[in-house]
Amino acid sequence: MVKNFFDLSGRVALVTGASRGLGQYLARALAQAGADLVVTARRREDTESFARELRALGRGAASLSLDVRDEASIRNMAEEAEAAFGKVDILVNNAGCNVRKPSVEVAWEDWNKVLDTNLRGTFFVAQAVARRMIPRGYGRIVNIGSVTSVFGYGGIAPYCASRGGVKQLTMSLADEWGRHGINVNCLAPGWFRTEQNKVLYENPSWVEYLRERIPLHRPGLPDDLDGAIVFLASEASAYVTGQTLLVDGGITTGSLKATAD
């Protein structure tokens, strides 16, 4: 019998920032692959209906509150997740935020909000979960980055700095925790419509400009990430760690148009 390397049956996955958007899509993909889920948001009630949806798929699901900018909240969440299922095998560090401003207008509190959420929060959630993975000798950690982990865009300097930091953090943790059986990778989506960037998609000329820059000639759809997240969470990626997997339609090729006239 051929082994199904993508089967997550018996695994428990924790997804942060799962109240909406890509967090829910990623969690749903893991559930469809067989995993039980712990889904978190700053307010527990924001994920309770989603947890019920996951249970309707036949999976175990727990809804927990988590503010990734608060150390006590992270510590309590990790304890509660462990109590709910006895373990966490997979962590998807998805919680994030953005501030869109010209760099000369970015305030001190804007910088702190974005970096504290996207970079500091990612590290300390990974730390809290890894402390429990290390004694078991197994773990899959997927930090969510973006194309801004490798590209820079004007008007979102704190966000670019945070996502670049996530890429470097991923490599550092992979180097340190690999000896404990923990794989750490970064999943970097390209241009997907989310709550953070929906205002951009309301401008038809910007959408057309974006299409011209993407070799596959379209923005990403949520299920374009399904295969990548299941791959990084499963035994299919057993020898993959410290990597950034870009799912971006080819925009990071640097081409302005998908032609070579």
Here the CATH number for the domain that contains residue 229 is 3.40.50.720
Does residue 190 form part of some domain? yes
Q: Enter the DSSP assignment of 100.
A: -
Active-site annotation holder among 159, 201, 209, 239: 159
Query: Per-residue confidence at 231, pLDDT binned at 50, 70, 90?
Result: very high
The DSSP bridge partners found for residue 185 are 142
Does residue 6 form part of some domain? no
Domain range enclosing 63: 12-253
Number of domains, the chain: 1
Does residue 2 form part of some domain? no
Looking at residue 248, its amino acid is D
Examine the residue annotation and report whether 138 is marked as an active-site residue of this protein: no
Does residue 4 form part of some domain? no
User: What mean pLDDT value characterizes the chain?
Assistant: 93
Distance from C-alpha of 187 to C-alpha of 194, rounded to nearest angstrom? 16
Alpha helices, DSSP H, located in the chain: 21-32, 45-56, 71-85, 108-115, 121-136, 157-177, 204-213, 226-233
Does residue 7 form part of some domain? no
Angle, helix 108-115 to helix 157-177, in steps of 10 degrees:
30
Residue 259 has pLDDT above 50, yes or no: no
Q: What is the pLDDT of residue 230?
A: 98
Residue 183 has pLDDT above 90, yes or no: yes
Does residue 229 form part of some domain? yes
Residue 54 has pLDDT above 50, yes or no: yes
User: What is the reported pTM?
Assistant: 0.93
Does residue 1 form part of some domain? no
Does residue 258 form part of some domain? no
Q: What is the pLDDT of residue 191?
A: 87
